[in-house]
């Protein structure tokens, strides 16, 4: 679905219009092949150049196409139940339009469109930087949220359960996806900051530099959390192995201890001539012998730290 928006410096919010005009913002959400063809027509780009905008696994990068057209592939974090924790957002900067393309409904773009801002749609570089700033902030918030989850599992290492392991595994996958997106995104920020792709103001260059630093910090936090998860997983493995060994040793000791009276009872249960068969206290004598031998076995395993 294609939405066309226009805003002047006097307007507080973006206004949706019905026709294309120079300086407008064209937002394509839930993009289809027909939408890609329409964007190719109005931008002068080839359909093949825009086809990657529908690829949910596309890697962030920046390209210059058809002279003055700039094609930027970004990834922003999403917090839902799907496997992919980041989604692609394509930004096309042409001499006349700023175009954003999303395979689904992009929350980053929707939030910007709903907010009041002093930026006009004709200020394509500032609008692009606003999108980048929003994405960087989302990564910062999500990384902090994952960090809190990891730390909450760290304090309960002695009471670890299946839910804790699953939560850490999910956090590890999310962090790996974030790093896979953040590293190439930093390269995109650096390329934009050079001014070779888009004309920038001095304030824009400084803001992009701050964004790049912020993304590097998010990457560092992701890497620290991944190391923490790895360390906790190794601790869990040692803990589980130790508990398993203790359980096996205990069961082995109990098996041997119970085997001794079982053997004695089996021997005296044979239908042959046996000691004490005429003794009226035979039962108690046999029970006493079995108990004594079992007690000796218990002492041996206790001092060997098997019990």
Q: Quick check: is 205 in a domain? A: no
pLDDT score for 5: 93
What is the CB neighbour count within 10 angstroms for residue 304? 10
Examine the fold and report which residue of 87, 119, 151 is the final residue of a domain before the chain moves on: 119
What is the CB neighbour count within 10 angstroms for residue 108? 21
Q: Quick check: is 230 in a domain? A: no
Q: Quick check: is 74 in a domain? A: yes
On the question of pLDDT at 212 being above 90, the answer is: no
Dist. CA 3–CA 111, nearest whole Å:
14
pLDDT score for 4: 93
Give the domain extent around 252. 244-303
Examine the fold and report which residue of 119, 150, 170 is the final residue of a domain before the chain moves on: 119
Q: Quick check: is 161 in a domain? A: no
Q: What is the 3-state secondary structure (H, E, C) of 288-304?
A: HHHHHHHHHHHHHHHHC
Q: What is the pLDDT of residues 30-39, one digit of tens each?
A: 999 999 999 9
Q: What is the pLDDT of residues 226-266, one digit of tens each?
A: 888 888 777 777 878 888 888 898 888 888 888 888 888 88
Banded pLDDT at 158 (limits 50, 70, 90) = low
Torsion of CA 166, 172, 178, 183, to 10 degrees: -170
When divided into structural domains, the chain yields a total of 2
SS3 33: helix
pLDDT score for 60: 92
| Average confidence score pLDDT of the chain | 85
Q: Quick check: is 292 in a domain? A: yes
Query: Is 0.75 surpassed by the pTM of this model?
Result: yes
pLDDT score for 28: 93
Q: Quick check: is 16 in a domain? A: yes
Banded pLDDT at 91 (limits 50, 70, 90) = very high
Q: Please compute the mean of the pLDDT values over residues 12-16 and round it to a whole number.
A: 89
Examine the fold and report which residue of 90, 119, 148 is the final residue of a domain before the chain moves on: 119
């Amino acid at each position: 679905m294609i939405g066309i928006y226009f805003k002047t410096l006097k307007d507080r919010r973006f206004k949706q219009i019905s026709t294309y005009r120079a300086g407008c913002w064209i937002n394509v959400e839930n993009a289809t092949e027909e939408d890609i063809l329409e964007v190719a027509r109005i931008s002068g780009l080839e359909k093949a150049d825009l086809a990657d905008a529908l690829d949910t696994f596309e890697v962030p990068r920046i390209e210059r196409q058809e002279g003055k057209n700039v094609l930027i592939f970004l990834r922003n974090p999403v917090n839902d139940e799907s496997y992919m924790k980041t989604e692609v957002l394509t930004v096309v900067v042409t001499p006349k339009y700023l175009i954003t393309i999303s395979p689904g409904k992009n929350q980053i773009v929707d939030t910007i469109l709903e907010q009041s801002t002093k930026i006009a749609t004709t200020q394509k570089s500032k609008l692009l930087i606003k999108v980048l700033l929003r994405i960087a902030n989302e990564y910062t918030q999500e990384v902090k949220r994952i960090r809190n989850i990891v730390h909450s599992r760290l304090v309960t290492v002695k009471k670890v359960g299946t839910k804790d392991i699953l939560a850490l595994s999910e956090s590890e996958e999310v962090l790996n996806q974030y790093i896979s997106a953040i590293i190439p995104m930093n390269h995109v920020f650096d390329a934009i900051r050079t001014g070779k792709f888009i004309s920038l103001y001095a304030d824009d260059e400084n803001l992009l530099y701050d964004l790049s630093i912020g993304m590097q910090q998010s990457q560092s936090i992701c890497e620290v959390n991944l190391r923490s998860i790895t360390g906790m997983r190794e601790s869990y493995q040692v803990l589980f192995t130790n508990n398993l060994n203790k359980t096996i040793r205990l069961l082995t000791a109990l098996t041997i201890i119970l085997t001794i009276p079982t053997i004695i009872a089996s021997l005296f249960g044979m239908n042959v001539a046996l000691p004490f068969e005429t003794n009226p206290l035979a039962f108690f004598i046999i029970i006493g012998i079995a108990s004594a031998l079992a007690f000796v076995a218990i002492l041996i395993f206790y001092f060997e730290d098997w019990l």
